[in-house]
């Protein structure tokens, strides 16, 4: 098994727990974390002893606050921006959906932007009552790059998805459960217990039956999903040709309100 710098792996009785381990930056997602997570998912898929995968965040503040915004400053062109989005989608989001085993998101805190997209890609989402969800990318002049808008619309409906994407508003775990974004909300102190209860139930099922059930359900929604999501990737990349995106990212890093000019 690989050794990792940005995640922690724990394996016990058929369950592999992957913890995003960048708590000082609210488990923000950078290219190293994308690579580590992708390799961990590959390891889990190949390991016959692993029946269920759980993904969570280190600390009690965040599952993941999304992409590491500081890394956006390194994207010098639309081509680089598209490659950044494509890499995250194919190595992590699509991998979670294609992996043959159930993946549970154990959302302990903030799940914003790419963090929300990561949770939405999982098969089951259980959140603490302290968790917060949202796609606030529009507040810095960019858009979700991993299919977040498309997947959000499929989960909560087109009008609610537009409201969340247009405003960048954040919602509580209770509201997320109400609109169908997540499966269940539990008190923070009961979160791991509840997730392990579900994981233990799943690991006793037929692995082949679970695999086929996952593939069948995903396929029922996936006739055009790859094309749709690649349009999300293109939209994310196109924003990096705009002055608004540069101003939004710069304002975020400078901790001030952005002044968008529609250019």
CA-wise closest residue to 133 among 71, 63, 191: 63
Residues contacting 73, CB < 8 A, separation 6+: 249, 250, 253
Q: Is 19 helix (H, G, I), strand (E, B) or coil?
A: strand
Tell me which of 97, 117, 177, 192 is the catalytic residue. Answer: 117
Q: H helices of the chain, where?
A: 31-46, 69-72, 78-88, 94-98, 114-121, 148-156, 158-167, 173-178, 191-203, 207-221, 225-239, 243-253
Q: 28, 22 in Cβ contact below 8 A?
A: yes
Q: At what angle do helices 225-239 and 78-88 cross, to 10 degrees?
A: 140
* Residue 80 is a catalytic residue: no
Tell me which of 90, 97, 137, 192 is the catalytic residue. Answer: 137
Count of Cβ atoms closer than 10 Å to residue 223 Cβ: 9
* Residue 117 is a catalytic residue: yes
**Catalytic residue list:** 117, 137
């Amino acid at each position: 098994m690989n050794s990792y710098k940005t995640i922690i792996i724990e394996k016990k009785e058929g369950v592999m727990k992957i913890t995003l381990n960048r708590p000082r930056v609210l488990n923000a997602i950078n290219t190293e974390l994308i690579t580590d997570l992708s390799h961990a998912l590959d390891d889990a898929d190949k390991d016959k002893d692993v029946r269920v995968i759980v993904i969570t965040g280190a600390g009690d503040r965040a599952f993941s606050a999304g992409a590491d915004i500081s890394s956006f400053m390194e994207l010098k062109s639309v081509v680089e921006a598209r490659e950044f989005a494509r890499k995250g989608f194919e190595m992590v989001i699509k991998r979670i959906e294609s992996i043959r085993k159930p993946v549970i998101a154990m959302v302990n805190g903030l799940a914003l932007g790419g963090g929300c997209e990561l949770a939405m890609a999982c098969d089951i989402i259980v959140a603490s009552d302290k968790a917060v969800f949202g796609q606030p990318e529009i507040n810095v002049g960019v858009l979700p790059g991993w299919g977040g808008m498309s997947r959000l619309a499929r989960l909560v409906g087109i009008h609610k998805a537009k409201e969340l994407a247009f405003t960048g508003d954040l919602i509580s775990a209770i509201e997320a459960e109400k609109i169908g974004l997540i499966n269940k909300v539990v008190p923070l102190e009961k979160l791991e217990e509840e997730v392990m209860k579900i994981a233990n139930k799943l690991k006793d099922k037929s692995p082949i039956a679970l695999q086929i059930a996952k593939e069948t359900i995903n396929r029922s929604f996936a006739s055009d999903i790859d094309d749709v999501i690649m349009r999300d990737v293109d939209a994310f990349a196109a924003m990096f040709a705009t002055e608004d995106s540069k101003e939004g990212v710069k304002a975020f890093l400078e901790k001030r309100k952005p002044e968008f000019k529609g250019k």
